[in-house]
Structure 1
Amino acid sequence: MASKQGSSQSAPLNPRTTKYDFFGPPGAFLISATVPPIIYALYFGCSESTGGCPPPMALAALKDRVLSALQDPSWWKSLWDTEATVMYLGFYAFCVLAWAILPGDWVNGTLLRTGGNIKYKINAFSTYLLTMGIVTGLIYRDGPQAFTFIYEKWVGFVTAAVLMSIFQATVCYLASFRPGAILALGGNSGNIIYDWYIGRELNPGIGSFDLKAFNEIRPGLILWALLDIGMLCEQAVRRGGFSNVTDSMWLVFAFQMWYIVDALYNEPGIFTMMDITTDGFGFMLSVGDLAWVPFTYSLQARYLAFHHVELGLWGIIGVVAVKALGYYIFHDANSEKNNFRNGSNPKNLKSMDTKRGTKLLISGWWGLCQHPNYLGDLLMALSWSLATGFDTPITYFYPAYFTVLLIHRQMRDDEACQAKYGDDWKKYKQLVPSKIFPYIY
């Protein structure tokens, strides 16, 4: 395996970051300080224990209730659950052990500034199958009530995941000062808050274990699947068995499990993502991977565990149609791009030449907007929320957040392409002006 080490932390290898993202240190501090409270707020603002989704009370009364809770030491104590923390740590250790023991191919990552590559072990899907085998056996033996503890200990699991995120970000930041570490080009500003948040070291790890790539999909996505299974079991217990589970819960469960399985099965695809190739590993990625993804993306399933929605035939057809359209756009657009990159053009798509000697697609889905894959992804996200009905706006948090995330990602990509292609990129944007939403944005 090629070494991840460089000769020193000298300027040529690890140049100082001169441009901030996320509005610099103030933005990094604000995001770091608000992300964990938002995860908790989504629970307390959409929970059976607090009276609904959201709780039925006036804003003034809600404000008083929140302030009262924050001033109550017993409320803060209720966020901690020792048993849930031990379970979470055991689950994380299980994922690490499965990575080490289960067989898998080794693939090369992108070329590092040192001239070498990192080799990544591919067995995330095998880890998922092993996990599902154990969980299925447990539920088959003891019934759905064997997995409802996830619903009961939700807040405790959130706390454990957030603390793990803070711990990993801090340890990786401190370890990045050792001699020979390769730093992220965007995380070496010298500002502690910003570098801790954005990630100072590019690929922290021990030996062949790369922490960033491991966290990207394994513990977060597999935990998301377990949370959904727990919510399905919770509803099944309340309604007298799996045969009585609502159509809305089955749709959300199927949609989200499909998304999870697709990501885990196509694990090699993450090694070309900006998270892996460019960003360092700091609190931004640790809290996103370990806490934000599993506990906010499963919001629809948790809502349906206590608020039972029956869609009926036409409701099912409508939700499935939105999902199918998003899936078709996402995969057909990516197929056009991948075929074109590999020298194949079965649709005879048009392209423009660039001074770099490369070509940019300007027809097909990629002529409709600059990021049609984002459009497909957003439609699929919307279908998850549509399955919960229209009794609350809180279950639509995910597609709203995802829209902001993808717009920000598009802006970062636009900036990178402008630097890469120069005047050719300006010409391209004249030919394909829409960014994500055709004729709108």
Structure 2
Amino acid sequence: MGTPAGTDLNPRTTKYEFYGPPGALFVTVATPFFTYLLYFSCSEETGGCPPEVDLEHVLGALKDPHFYLNLWDAEAAKWYFAWFAFCVAAWAILPARVVEGTLMRDGLKKKYKTNAFSTCILAFCIVAGIIYQQGPEGFTILYRKLLGFMTAALAVSTVQAVHVYASSFQPGKLLTLNGNTGNPIYDFFIGRELNPTIGSLDLKYFNELRPGLILWALICISTLCEQATRRGGWANVTDSMWLTAFFQIFYVVDSMYNEAAIFTIMDITTDGFGFMLSFGDLVWVPFTYSLQARYLVFEQVELGLVYTALILGLNSLGYLIFRQANSEKNDFRNGKNPRNLAYLTTKRGSKLLTSGWWGRSRHPNYFGDLLMALAWSLPTGFETPITYFYVIFFTFFLIYRQERDDAACAEKYGDDWETYKQIVPYRIVPYVY
């Protein structure tokens, strides 16, 4: 196989997403701003969720240079850089199973070391040792210095995005089909190179699961520790906090355990690695998705047995749909069909599932994801809509992904995709949408 250097392998991108460079610039600037806004809109230090502050006070704070200087916390930054280094070291050192990715258009398949689960377990063991030695107060640092950790993560994600954009101009790089427009604003945001690496470390794959996703779980543990410290021990932690933290930690651990499943998702197979994924993986996921658990530290909600059971049931149903749907897809893509599911064979020779969960909707895994997202928010009660940000954002995000995927499939399969849509008419929610 030759090196992927020619225009045949790296054609110029002619179609924009996100409304082109203006949209890409807006999202690049707006998402960090909104992450901070979400933090200050639901925080003890600003007076609640939403905070009780007037516009004049907010504008005064934004004009004060000290406000921006206080976003940086040297101690939190030191610990965040240590955490990132720990994730790299664990990837390099821990035993791993090597898994092949999908066939790329240069005729090659990348090989990935899959040891995210053992990295996660090692991190949990270290945290458990800290809590055992020092009590729950020993691991409250993530909650108490969350703003500083967020700023450090933003710095790392931005530096990383600049690095991969600059290195994508080196000879022999395989570029993504949707990020080679020649416009630096757009390409920096969407990602120009398909699989940027440092040595043998694939940065896109590494960022997808490890530093941000495991940190999300650690933030949930830290919120548990903070509430236990305030309420005088583990026995006094509220049922709402236990539920929310358990749901999110379990989701992270399950993702680590099923690490090989990510090699078929659009982020890995299609998208480049730019600011969008770098920021999303390192900042957006851990610091916005953990908002419910953070809220429950200072607004402590007692659910009772009945509501706890109902919310637990909703999350379990969502997980069942999500995991079974993904298992059906992964088995089928790996040449297995243990349930003898029906499928449509396209003119390209590809096969599209038309029964099982994939016969009920074209993205049943998204439906399971949405049910779980709702279950993670319900324990916060109904005092504020801010704690439902995750499920609202996730709904729009998954609809966007579904439309993007449908457009790609229509281009790929032509008339066969129209036939498939007649067999499976619902997009995400069976019999509804």
TM-score between the two structures when normalised by the length of structure 1? 0.94
| Paired residues for 1:25-424 under 5 Å | 25-56=21-52, 61=54, 63-341=55-333, 342-344=335-337, 346=339, 349-424=341-416
1:6 to 3, 11, 24: 3
Which one-letter code corresponds to 1:412 in the other structure? R
Q: Which runs of 4+ in 1 moved over 6 A?
A: none
Provide the secondary structure at the position in 1 that maps to 2:380.
Answer: coil
**Alignment CA distance shift 1:49-1:170 (3 Å):** same
* Cα deviation, residue 142, structure 1: 0.6
* Cα deviation, residue 281, structure 1: 0.8
| Residues 143, 226 of structure 2: 8 Å contact kept | yes
In structure 2, runs of 5+ residues without a counterpart are none
* Cα deviation, residue 339, structure 1: 4.8
Deviates more, 1:361-370 or 1:165-174: 361-370
Which one-letter code corresponds to 1:145 in the other structure? E
| Residues 349, 362 of structure 1: 8 Å contact kept | yes
Deviates more, 1:412-421 or 1:350-359: 350-359
CA distance in 2, matches of 1:64, 1:213: 44
Give a deviation string over 1:160-194, Cα, whole Å, max 9, x none: 00111110000111111111111111111000000
Which one-letter code corresponds to 2:110 in the other structure? I
* Cα deviation, residue 371, structure 1: 1.2
CA distance in 2, matches of 1:353, 1:277: 21
Give a deviation string over 1:371-412, Cα, whole Å, max 9, x none: 111111100111000111111111111111111111111011
* Cα deviation, residue 47, structure 1: 0.7
* Cα deviation, residue 349, structure 1: 4.5
* Cα deviation, residue 338, structure 1: 4.2
In structure 1, runs of 5+ residues without a counterpart are none
CA distance in 2, matches of 1:266, 1:53: 35
CA distance in 1, matches of 2:279, 2:179: 17
CA distance in 2, matches of 1:352, 1:115: 26
Deviates more, 1:203-212 or 1:280-289: 203-212
Which one-letter code corresponds to 1:30 in the other structure? F
* Cα deviation, residue 7, structure 1: 5.2
CA distance in 2, matches of 1:18, 1:405: 24
**Alignment CA distance shift 1:271-1:133 (3 Å):** same
Provide the secondary structure at the position in 2 that maps to 1:302.
Answer: helix
| Residues 176, 200 of structure 1: 8 Å contact kept | yes
Give a deviation string over 1:274-332, Cα, whole Å, max 9, x none: 11111111000000000001001111111111111110011101111111111122223
**Alignment CA distance shift 1:402-1:7 (3 Å):** closer
Provide the secondary structure at the position in 2 that maps to 1:86.
Answer: helix
1:24 to 20, 27, 50: 20
Which one-letter code corresponds to 2:16 in the other structure? Y
CA distance in 2, matches of 1:302, 1:280: 32
Provide the secondary structure at the position in 2 that maps to 1:180.
Answer: coil
CA distance in 1, matches of 2:99, 2:361: 32
CA distance in 2, matches of 1:140, 1:123: 26
Give a deviation string over 1:330-354, Cα, whole Å, max 9, x none: 22333444455535253x6544443
| Residues 119, 208 of structure 1: 8 Å contact kept | no
| Residues 194, 272 of structure 2: 8 Å contact kept | yes
CA RMSD in angstroms comes to 1.7
Q: State the percentage of identical aligned residues.
A: 61
